Amino acid sequence: METLSDAVLQNEEAGAQRGIGDAGERSWKNLEGESLFQESAGQEIPGNDRQFQDLSLLNGAGESKKGNAEEEMVPALVQRSGKYKGEEMQKETVMMELTGLVQKAVNESSWWERRGIDCAILTAAFLSLPAGLLKDLSMGIALRALCMITLGLYSQYWLLLHLSGFQSPVSALLCMLLCRAAFSLPYIHVNIFQHIGLPMFSPSRRPSRIHQMTHGVLNLPRNPLLDWTFGHSLISCHVEHHLFPFLSDHMCLKVKPIVSCYLREKRLPYQEDSYLSRLRLFLREYEELMVFAPPITELVGIQ
């Protein structure tokens, strides 16, 4: 009897275990079916797998859009870079053409025109106007300087009276005073009128050299006194002097028609104005041009 009862109990326990296993299997299948139904219906599947799947899809779409945007930007950047390089090459070509014309005129000129005239003027000025300055020095040095000044004045007076054709000492002395008054004019007094009120450029954003010089430099009309005092390159040929600083005063005057015609042909400015007009502009807009102007060290054009 005990054996029979033990066998019945074992059968009941085995049946209970099989029932629990079947229930677990049915519940797992039900959950799997619900997830498949939700996926087919477009609903979100709970769990990390579904979230990882959605994130991978979003990342793939973002990479695709980014790649398309980069592919669209590349041709635009290449086109813009090519356009900028083309403009720069055109500006350099214009400057090279003008340089060729000026170089041709220089090669066709004699040495006397290129250098001789300027050397003769500088030598004559040095010989006729010896320098002498009195400073806070000892008495002996001051007397020696005074003797040299007297010798210089007398030598100029003698040259004017005996070689230049002056008939009276008064006329020679008057000429000496006029010459010294003219030479005592500071260079900046004239030079500032050829740059003030004109465009100036920062070192980081300046245009090509030919555009910079034609927009920021101005020529004054020819004047015998100013031409003799300062030279052509500082007065009536200042644009040519800035474009070709290696040329002498006489050669700047000679190539002036070539430069002016070429710049007008290329629709570039060739600026000219009178001395009185620039003086009125300077006085009328003094505060704007001189007081509130940026420091010269922040601008291009220091030479």
Contact present, 236 and 254 (Cβ < 8 Å) = no
Tell me how far apart the alpha carbons of residues 34 and 65 are, in angstroms, rounded to a whole number. Answer: 35
**For the whole model, what pTM was predicted?**
0.45
pLDDT attached to residue 10: 55
pLDDT attached to residue 109: 86
pLDDT at 28 over 60: no
Is 115 or 192 the better-scoring residue by pLDDT? 115
Tell me how far apart the alpha carbons of residues 129 and 64 are, in angstroms, rounded to a whole number. Answer: 82
Is 222 or 64 the better-scoring residue by pLDDT? 222
Residue 4 — pLDDT band, cuts 50, 70, 90? very low
pLDDT attached to residue 262: 92
pLDDT attached to residue 84: 61
Burial of 133-166, coded b for 16+ CB within 10 Å and e otherwise, reads eeeeeeeeeeeebeeeeeebbeebbebbbeeeeb
pLDDT digits (tens, 9 = 90+) for 142-178: 778 778 888 988 888 888 888 888 888 888 888 888 8
Report the Cα–Cα distance between both ends of the chain, in Å, rounded: 128
Tell me how far apart the alpha carbons of residues 148 and 154 are, in angstroms, rounded to a whole number. Answer: 10
pLDDT at 58 over 80: no
pLDDT digits (tens, 9 = 90+) for 125-147: 766 655 445 556 677 777 787 78
Q: Which two tokens stand for residue 277?
A: 């007009």
Tell me how far apart the alpha carbons of residues 99 and 243 are, in angstroms, rounded to a whole number. Answer: 9
Q: What is the mean pLDDT of the chain?
A: 71
pLDDT digits (tens, 9 = 90+) for 80-113: 666 666 677 777 888 888 888 888 888 888 888 8
Q: Which two tokens stand for residue 157?
A: 């007076």
pLDDT digits (tens, 9 = 90+) for 226-272: 777 777 777 888 889 889 988 888 888 899 999 999 999 988 889 88
Of 54-58, 79-83, 198-202, 273-277, the poorest mean pLDDT is in 54-58
pLDDT attached to residue 261: 92
pLDDT digits (tens, 9 = 90+) for 213-228: 888 888 888 878 777 7
Tell me how far apart the alpha carbons of residues 221 and 236 are, in angstroms, rounded to a whole number. Answer: 5
> Of the candidates 196, 208, 178, which has an alpha carbon nearest to the alpha carbon of residue 271?
196
Tell me how far apart the alpha carbons of residues 139 and 133 are, in angstroms, rounded to a whole number. Answer: 14
